[in-house]
Chains A and B, each alone.
Chain A
């Protein structure tokens, strides 16, 4: 099976440099003109433990990790535990080899480091028989030995790349270029030598296989980056100059990137004592006139519910990022899930109004983070960008021009001092910060910033009157609640007009639909192509606005199909629930395909799930769950 694509999997121990090696591999393929996509799998451990990264390369934009893979570079786990612990952990050094067999496609290549993986251990299972049965091409090479000859065995990664290049016949030019860019002096020379030696050694073996690496060339300059990069760059381009946070996987990624770059942009980053403080600091900076963000993952975001509510009540703009991982509680720290949706939508007490965007891919991570800032500051409301560990960790190429956007430093609905002089003031001397009926007829009463002349007001989490004084007057309460909640309608109209975040895919007149949100969107789109090739009539809708919900757009789309399958990575069908709640109907039209084992969907699984559901069959695979429509 060739499919005119390469899915290369590098497997080793956590801490063996699998990540950086795969990043360079992907970048080299991108530079050679291919479209690339990476998928990371790693344990919640620092050193040791089976980890792998897949790089999928095609001659057209890659939507997902694909199904399985066709080239395995198994480096072995150099941090494997000592033998006494074997009973508990199994033979860890071998896991990067054996734990990857299930997904290696027929006819695939299996290159392993016999310098690290003890030949006697490897022989214990019948690798030859497995290879015979699956048509695999098994290539043992002493990658460690090659690396050692040039000084350090850590360079077995480079040896693996050299051997891969020879076996796939893709040349080493781009890899050499990257080594020269990233290293200097002796290290650079040693790595170049290792690369060349491994290449020569593998070329001599003259492996016969049927993987064809496609050839392609981009029409414009590409960049390769992660969702966390894109969120960070979106924030920076939107004028965000303050971040506060507390480390938690996978949110740490955005926090790290922002912390590294903010000072060069003249901004401030603060690592603080806990997530309550983190969100409170972002709120304080925003109140004082700086565009600010904070964020966390599930458990940390739970702590932010207090400051989040305070931001809503005081109408202080605030952007939060929620990077989902599997829960409940600390759950599975390094595994993706889409189960924090309800948490993000409804956290905090009272009738609360916030904006929630769920970008589907790296492209949207950038644009929707920018939208989140614009909306938050223009409408004085907290905006949350919710994404997951999958988008956080995967790398994908897209045209550099996507980021060629002007910065937006506009602080939103803030008055200048001149405007404050003309604005309404209370007889107590305070500025009417929270007018019941703002002059422009909108629901946004522009604010002042501490230090501005005559702009004094009180921001309070208690209900308050127009000048900010605490008030429990019933009429005032109604006016303020209606105005705050009314912003959601204004924002819906604004988004519909300026930045529709919903993505339509497939033939417009299709009979069946797949509804999807967040990181699973592009995998679903790939599955839709295959389903239509298989003779089905399917289209998909990827929804990115979680709140305010695009009721009209989704209703219209649901009206146009007979039935729709909702695909999401959680066990309780949260997005389907949201859709039914917001639209108030379609309970009998929506069924669910759910996966919550810690791994994202693969396109073939969606194809299987869809076919099983319309045929009324049970799912063949046990790693997914089908939840029928309420009417069934």
Chain B
């Protein structure tokens, strides 16, 4: 039996395999958009043909972090804002794993903002889903980095003086090679986009609009959405950086005006993933590093033979 025999298991995958045998009682509120993410993610897995044992899901802290509990795969519920660096290394250690990271808007765009910039810049081959409900949910309703300007909360009683962050534009600028926005109210599109993002060879960032019925009843994305790929009004080339930038500008502005534009915003296929780049310059082994520890035939070099000569 090989060390990681779950990887590459070639068979029909059923989405129910991703539901834990005994489902822990969900701690999300009734009507929470996070259910939509969970469902779309489960539906996407059979499409990409990955089984639960070869998927590693990394989450941050907050309501989004509970995703791990309801999704049956290897899971790592990390700390606030830090899912990306943990996930990144797991992918480098074993590139054959399907690595997915998830977080919320506070988690991913606030405390973890720096990690997002650098993960996008390096173009790690992984999928990052950000549950964007424009509010801090689990800490009970504070203003988040995506809350609109003027948003009032207990911590911003006079209304926020800050303009919201523009996550899609930011990811594009940082170097992400797949950027999309979808919404929990749009399950079919969400499933398709997640499946496509997972299959994308590079860093895929999905800004996933989720509703927070408890703390953010004002969020504009409860309204019907427009799928920009399906709409004749938005005929644009997703592989064109300039057009993508304009499309992102529009969706990020119109969202706060009450018009929700979703869909693939940018897809770049030519750029190799970070792991591939590292391999090409000789900084990554060809075979998954993690496997070597379980390979009895692997030869482990010692420093005595290799490095000590220099010190004699």
For the complex with contacts A284-B85, A309-B79, A461-B79, 14 further pairs of A-B residues with Cβ separation under 8 Å are A229-B311, A236-B303, A242-B289, A273-B118, A284-B89, A289-B290, A426-B21, A428-B20, A428-B72, A449-B290, A456-B74, A457-B74, A459-B77, A461-B77
Q: Which residues of the partner chain A approach B87 to less than 8 Å between Cβ atoms?
A: 284
Interfacial residues of chain A within 35-73, with CB under 8 A of chain B in the complex: none
The reply to whether A458 and B290 contact each other, CB–CB distance below 8 Å, is no
Query: Shortest CB–CB separation between residue A574 and chain B, in angstroms?
Result: 28
- Count of A interface residues, CB-CB < 8 Å: 80
* Nearest A residue (CB) for B301: A265
Can you identify 20 A-B contacts, CB atoms within 8 angstroms? A268-B283, A273-B115, A277-B114, A284-B89, A284-B93, A291-B293, A306-B82, A310-B78, A400-B311, A416-B1, A417-B4, A417-B5, A418-B1, A426-B22, A451-B7, A452-B4, A459-B77, A461-B79, A469-B69, A470-B69
Q: A266-B285, A273-B114 are in contact. Are A456 and B52 (CB under 8 A)?
A: yes
Alpha-carbon separation in the docked complex, A320 to B167 (Å): 33
Residue A579 interfacial (CB < 8 Å) = no
Q: A284-B88, A407-B300, A409-B292 are in contact. Are A314 and B76 (CB under 8 A)?
A: yes
Alpha-carbon separation in the docked complex, A600 to B295 (Å): 46
Alpha-carbon separation in the docked complex, A394 to B122 (Å): 36
- Count of B interface residues, CB-CB < 8 Å: 67
Interfacial residues of chain B within 65-108, with CB under 8 A of chain A in the complex: 68-69, 72-79, 82, 85-94, 96-97
Q: Which residues of the partner chain B approach A233 to less than 8 Å between Cβ atoms?
A: 303, 307-308
Interfacial residues of chain A within 238-266, with CB under 8 A of chain B in the complex: 239, 241-242, 244, 261, 263-266
The reply to whether B92 and A457 contact each other, CB–CB distance below 8 Å, is no
Query: Shortest CB–CB separation between residue A391 and chain B, in angstroms?
Result: 16
Q: What 0/1 pattern do residues 146 to 180 of A give for CB contact below 8 A with B?
A: 00000000000000000000000000000000000
Alpha-carbon separation in the docked complex, A233 to B304 (Å): 8
The reply to whether A261 and B97 contact each other, CB–CB distance below 8 Å, is no
The reply to whether B82 and A242 contact each other, CB–CB distance below 8 Å, is no
Residue A591 interfacial (CB < 8 Å) = no
Interfacial residues of chain A within 263-307, with CB under 8 A of chain B in the complex: 263-270, 272-274, 276-278, 280-285, 287-292, 306-307
* Nearest A residue (CB) for B7: A451
Alpha-carbon separation in the docked complex, A286 to B20 (Å): 25
Q: What 0/1 pattern do residues 270 to 298 of B give for CB contact below 8 A with A?
A: 00000000100011110001111110001
* Nearest A residue (CB) for B22: A428
Residue B302 interfacial (CB < 8 Å) = yes
Query: Shortest CB–CB separation between residue A24 and chain B, in angstroms?
Result: 12
Residue B154 interfacial (CB < 8 Å) = no
Q: Which residues of the partner chain B approach A276 to less than 8 Å between Cβ atoms?
A: 82, 85
Residue B312 interfacial (CB < 8 Å) = yes
* Nearest A residue (CB) for B77: A460
Query: Shortest CB–CB separation between residue A192 and chain B, in angstroms?
Result: 21
Query: Shortest CB–CB separation between residue A425 and chain B, in angstroms?
Result: 9
The reply to whether B96 and A310 contact each other, CB–CB distance below 8 Å, is no
Query: Shortest CB–CB separation between residue B23 and chain A, in angstroms?
Result: 8
The reply to whether B90 and A450 contact each other, CB–CB distance below 8 Å, is yes
Residue A145 interfacial (CB < 8 Å) = no
Residue B24 interfacial (CB < 8 Å) = yes
Q: Which residues of the partner chain B approach A241 to less than 8 Å between Cβ atoms?
A: 289, 292
Alpha-carbon separation in the docked complex, A523 to B307 (Å): 28
Q: A241-B289, A430-B20 are in contact. Are A223 and B90 (CB under 8 A)?
A: no
The reply to whether B82 and A307 contact each other, CB–CB distance below 8 Å, is yes
Q: Which residues of the partner chain B approach A456 to less than 8 Å between Cβ atoms?
A: 52-53, 72-75
Tell me which of A268, A400, A418, A468 contacts B308 (CB under 8 A): A400
Q: Which residues of the partner chain B approach A284 to less than 8 Å between Cβ atoms?
A: 58, 76, 85-90, 93
